[in-house]
Structure 1
């Protein structure tokens, strides 16, 4: 068997891998300096570009909804009449598990509690009002806005890859805008390097959050004390499991883990719903969903400009962090959902990616966050950290389990297993996608490079945690999102241009077909009519020539006694008459 031809793209692999490796080394060996630089950069970016993040994410939502409902909706992301590679339930599971799994477990209880106990600047009212606004704000961060970002990049990539047959690479999604030559050149290399950089840091942020919660869970169970050393060990162990998963490929390890994780997550949600107050949770879900839909426009564009420094600090810790996190995740999630969405129509892709994960996410936060809010409102302080008097995001979910009848340790174990599996699915999916980019779009990149990226993602997560914990994780997401946000805007323009051109071509083709069908119908009709008329005329002439002339009555003659039939026969009939006196020449 001949050796496998190398598909490595040196102009992408080495710059991206080298820059990320340098960051890991700086985070480990120059920890204080790295933390200081990250903090300074965060303040600069938030002060200068916070409004920009808010504006472009709002634009992505409008773009995604419009495209999904537009005349482009029937275009297939693949060949015409091609069927999807994965069945709908499997597709949803793979979408969701790789999209934001660890974050849901980490923030499912903590975020609504944070917004309730330490409200957004400018939010006032009684406890019930503040609780409703807390759930609405959480829905904003995790709902349609996050998935609209994924729609933009996923749609552009799915169209380029499946419809146009381009390689699995970020650069090719910009071909309608930049042209083939620029896409193949240095500009395309820069785009792919930015995508890899953002993906690795976005995934590393999720891995870091998962490790913080895992270590807190182990301390809660009395297994081990939550220390930096424990967190580093957890990253090493779970990265090893993720490397084994990514080595098995998309059809085996990643697919099985995604499906299994969704079933485990569903079981945990149902358990908490049953053990808690299910009627309250369903009422709260409907009410919070209504609040979100009613106020989504105002919340979308709220930059807290009139709240001064407090407003800016809150935005950087929550909304801007989330928008940056989702944008930095966009290359990974976009490429992955594009890869698994072959055969879907544009409308199926957009509406499925927007609506279904958003509804599942709101149910998740209502079950966990809503139950926690009810507990805190009934027993103030019961969901807060005993030492700090504030919400502890690392332990909030475990505290909730303690309040449930029969809950506690066994639910904590299930939650930690869920975090581990989400950790693995995020890491292996991210490594697979990054490796495709670094290998020129090869959909089956070599094993060694897949393992390289899986290990490097774990290294980045370790460096970020070591250099400052959660604050540094948030800063990394915001910073890496800034340059790639420009690429996302270009992608939106590019895919619109491509879809519009194809739709116009389809309309022109349909018009030509309709004109051709019309001409054919007219031709057939005229031919039939003419043939019938000619046949009748020929039959009449033949009848006259053979003498089969109808008897002419007086009613058939004109006023001079000449029959109409005789007049119609013309001069030929006059030549048949006997000569009259006026023509007799004998005398």
Structure 2
């Protein structure tokens, strides 16, 4: 590594980089484990500052909830309403950069060097991508969003097929159905996966090919040079820890609420704070076991179990639901997505503010705030893939699978809403809006509802376990300065810390404020990702192809 901050060329090590043996100019002390009190590697200031500030945030939020909660919500609403154009344009840039690299000679670069081989099979790799990326989101929104956009939000001005009295307007049905699927697929297709791919590709390139630590600050080495090992880099990593921890704690809290709602729906278990706290404790305990077993024995194994269970539930819905309609809806959904992709991506001259600001801008900020966690995890398990293979598998294949998932679950739900007068999906999405019950309402109108609903609850819980343990591995790596072999006690600390933060804010009523704060971190990180796009292209151009 150069002694100068001039970053015109970043020397790559010979062969795959060994992050523990690489001798950085900032000193061997930065990359060798330095065990402190309680077996924690805390010599990096990111660890202590991140933990203390998060604790202070939780305490202050709970103490001044009546004033801070509305303030954080106002900040989030201002960002998504006033800067919706920025989030939409940023998302478009991420997609274009990824697709441009795929079709360019830069796609031939291999992550880890020309002789590197993949660490995981395709099945294990895909399973971890979905479990960490958005598997739980597909469970929650797979039914809710297609029905909601068809019947309520009216994206791009397409009228709802339902009149104010609840009666069906047949001439509006086909257009609303197509737009409901296109508007949903847009939020779960190329754009969110491009956000993850940018972060993951930047981290994998600079860690595995350039020999830099596997941490967010390494993306900025072409710009700041050696300064990234000082406070500029510390601030970047601390922001990444905040975004990851806030996002995970929020998801744990809201996930417990969804799981509790499912258990109440199926078994009549009381829907209460106490039950949700117990669920968080269960999720955190299983995540701790997974953390102790490590990446291969824990996260990978649970992700593969998750994949099998999710595919079983998907196959059931396809077979017992409106099978022909699901397959035709899959094709129609892809066509509608391709047709409406540019209009939905356009940030100006639109009248659908509730959809563009309340859904799209919020989603983009949310995906970006999660990108340090998901991107770093994807990078960690993607060594040995070519850049072209990496982008295709992280961008295109998950999009197609998400489209089919939405076509099966959302398409079945739309059929139920249209065909059944007493559809439970209509009751929980259109009439009373209980989003956590939308999936269970759809399953209730299919055969074997008692069995499939239990499977759905198990899937929700296991998806959150995989998010929690993979998130703990990521935070651990960031706070240890990019080391992937930090003490196990440190990973245990972060996994436990996530659960405690979620419980404190769930009991104290601060989950909404935490979610608003997590989404708000999406704006500064969008700037980080835009810079990362330039760093990726520059770094790839220096690599042998």
* TM-score band, normalised by shorter chain: 0.7 to 0.9
Shift of 1:265: 0.3
Residues 97 and 345 from structure 1, CA distance in 2 versus in 1: closer, same or farther, beyond 3 angstroms? same
Give the corresponding residue for 2:288. 243
Give the corresponding residue for 1:384. 426
Q: Distance in 1 between the 2:103 and 2:49 partners?
A: 40
- For residue 113 of structure 2, the aligned residue among 75, 79, 90 is 79
Please say if 1:207 is aligned against 2:252: yes
Which has the higher mean CA deviation after the structures are superposed, 450-459 or 193-202? Answer: 450-459
Q: Per the alignment, in what secondary structure is the counterpart of residue 249 of structure 1?
A: helix
Residues 366 and 246 from structure 1, CA distance in 2 versus in 1: closer, same or farther, beyond 3 angstroms? same
Give the corresponding residue for 1:421. 462
- For residue 159 of structure 1, the aligned residue among 181, 184, 205 is 205
- Structure 2 matches for 1:59-458, cutoff 5 A? 59-120=93-154, 122-124=157-159, 126-179=172-225, 181-302=226-347, 306-307=350-351, 311-380=352-421, 382=423, 383-385=425-427, 389-404=431-446, 406-458=447-499
Residues 225 and 473 from structure 1, CA distance in 2 versus in 1: closer, same or farther, beyond 3 angstroms? farther
Residues 336 and 54 from structure 1, CA distance in 2 versus in 1: closer, same or farther, beyond 3 angstroms? same
Give the corresponding residue for 1:16. 50
TM-score relative to the length of structure 1:
0.81
Which has the higher mean CA deviation after the structures are superposed, 201-210 or 87-96? Answer: 201-210
TM-score relative to the length of structure 2:
0.87
* Alignment check: 8 A CA contact 2:33 2:486 kept: no
Q: Distance in 1 between the 2:428 and 2:113 partners?
A: 59
Shift of 1:65: 0.7
Shift of 1:274: 0.7
* Alignment check: 8 A CA contact 2:49 2:238 kept: yes
Q: Distance in 2 between the 1:190 and 1:280 partners?
A: 51
Larger-Rg structure: 1
Shift of 1:481: 1.1
Which has the higher mean CA deviation after the structures are superposed, 263-272 or 383-392? Answer: 383-392
Shift of 1:444: 1.5
Structure 2: segments with no counterpart, 5+ residues: 1-31, 36-40, 161-171
Q: Distance in 2 between the 1:340 and 1:114 partners?
A: 35
Per-residue Cα deviation, 1:33-59 (whole angstroms, up to 9, x for no partner): 332222221233223322211111111
RMSD: 2.1
Shift of 1:4: 6.4
Structure 1: segments with no counterpart, 5+ residues: 507-587
* Alignment check: 8 A CA contact 1:97 1:422 kept: yes
Q: Distance in 1 between the 2:429 and 2:184 partners?
A: 26
Which has the higher mean CA deviation after the structures are superposed, 251-260 or 470-479? Answer: 470-479
Residues 175 and 100 from structure 1, CA distance in 2 versus in 1: closer, same or farther, beyond 3 angstroms? same
Per-residue Cα deviation, 1:53-112 (whole angstroms, up to 9, x for no partner): 111111111111101211101111112122111111211111111101211111111111
Residues 469 and 217 from structure 1, CA distance in 2 versus in 1: closer, same or farther, beyond 3 angstroms? farther
Q: Per the alignment, in what secondary structure is the counterpart of residue 542 of structure 2?
A: helix
Shift of 1:204: 2.6
Aligned residues: 496
Shift of 1:164: 1.4
Q: Distance in 1 between the 2:115 and 2:309 partners?
A: 35
Q: Distance in 1 between the 2:285 and 2:266 partners?
A: 24
* Alignment check: 8 A CA contact 2:257 2:276 kept: yes
Residues 161 and 341 from structure 1, CA distance in 2 versus in 1: closer, same or farther, beyond 3 angstroms? same
Q: Distance in 2 between the 1:174 and 1:40 partners?
A: 31
